[in-house]
A and B are shown apart, each in its own frame.
Chain A
Amino acid sequence: MSTAVSQVERLLNLVPYLLSHPGSTVEQVAQEFGVNAKQVAKDLNVLWFCGLPGGFADDLMEAHVEEGGAIHLENAAEPIVRPLRLSTREAVALLVALRALAQVPGIADRDALDRALAKLESATGEAARVAERLSVAFEARDVVFEAAQRALAEKRLVHLRYYVPSRDEVTERDVDPMRVALLAGRAYLEGWCRASGAVRVFRLDRIVGIEVLDQPAQPPADAKGLDLTEEAPASALRVGQDAPLVTLELAAEARWVPEYYPCESVAEDPGVDGFLRVTLRAADQDRIRRLVLRLGGAARVLGPQEFADKVRDTAALALAAYGADAPA
Chain B
Amino acid sequence: MPASKTERLVNLVICLLASRTFVTKERLRTTLEPYRNCPTDEAFERMFERDKEELRELGIPLEVGTVSALFEDEVGYRIAPGEYALPELHLEPDEAAAIGIAARFWQQATLAQAASSALLKLKAAGLDVGEAAPAGIEPRVRAEAPAFEPLLEAVYDRQVVRFSYRRSDGEVRAREVEPWTIDSWRGRWYLAGYDLGRDDARVFRLDRITSPVLLTGRAPQHKVPDRLDVRAQVDAFAVRSSGDLGPATLRVREGTCFPLRRGAGSVVEGEDGWDTIVITAYADTAGWLAEYGPDVVVLDPPSLRAAVIARLRAIARPEATSAGAAVAGPIPPARHAGPAERRKPLEVAS
Contact = CB atoms under 8 A, between A and B. Distances in A.
B177 interface: no
A256 B316 CA distance: 23
A300 B331 contact: no
User: What band does the interface of chain B fall in when counting residues whose beta carbon is under 8 Å from A?
Assistant: 35 or more
A317 B98 CA distance: 54
Contacts of A122: 87
A275 B323 contact: yes
A88 B168 CA distance: 35
Contacts of A107: 137
Nearest to B171: A274
Interface residues of A, number: 138
Contacts of A14: 124
A300 B112 CA distance: 43
Interface in A1-57: 1-5, 7-9, 11-14, 16-17, 19-21, 32-34, 42, 45-46, 49-53, 55
Contacts of B286: 296
Contact of B312 (A136, A229, A255, A318): A318
Interface string B112-143: 10111111111111100000000101111110
A96 B140 CA distance: 13
Interface stretch (B2-10, B210-218, B275-283): B2-10
A135 B287 CA distance: 32
A201 B290 CA distance: 28
A259 interface: yes
Contact of B169 (A32, A45, A274, A322): A274
A250 interface: yes
A149 to B, nearest CB: 7
Nearest to A231: B142
Nearest to A163: B258
Interface string A155-173: 1000000010100111000
Interface in A75-127: 77-80, 82-94, 96-98, 100-101, 107-109, 111-113, 115-116, 119-120, 122-123
A138 B186 CA distance: 6
A293 B290 contact: yes
Nearest to B125: A83
Main secondary structure of the interface of B (DSSP, over half): helix
Interface stretch (A64-72, A182-190, A191-199, A238-246): A182-190
Contacts of A175: none
Main secondary structure of the interface of A (DSSP, over half): helix
A259 B155 CA distance: 25
A251 B270 CA distance: 39
A86 B121 contact: yes
B178 to A, nearest CB: 12
Interface string B50-70: 000010011110000000000
A223 interface: no
Interface of A: 1-5, 7-9, 11-14, 16-17, 19-21, 32-34, 42, 45-46, 49-53, 55, 77-80, 82-94, 96-98, 100-101, 107-109, 111-113, 115-116, 119-120, 122-123, 130, 132-139, 149, 152-153, 155, 163, 165, 168-170, 179-186, 203, 205-206, 208, 228-229, 231, 248-256, 259-261, 271-272, 274-275, 287, 290-300, 311-312, 314-322, 325-326, 328
15 contacts: A8-B54, A46-B3, A79-B81, A80-B13, A149-B137, A206-B339, A253-B169, A253-B329, A297-B318, A297-B327, A299-B323, A318-B293, A318-B296, A319-B313, A328-B316
Interface of B: 2-3, 5-7, 9-11, 13-15, 17-18, 31-33, 54, 57-60, 81, 83-87, 89-92, 94-99, 101-103, 105-107, 110-112, 114-126, 135, 137-142, 152, 155-156, 168-170, 180-188, 207, 230-231, 255-259, 262, 286-288, 290-297, 305-306, 309-318, 320, 322-327, 329-331, 338-345
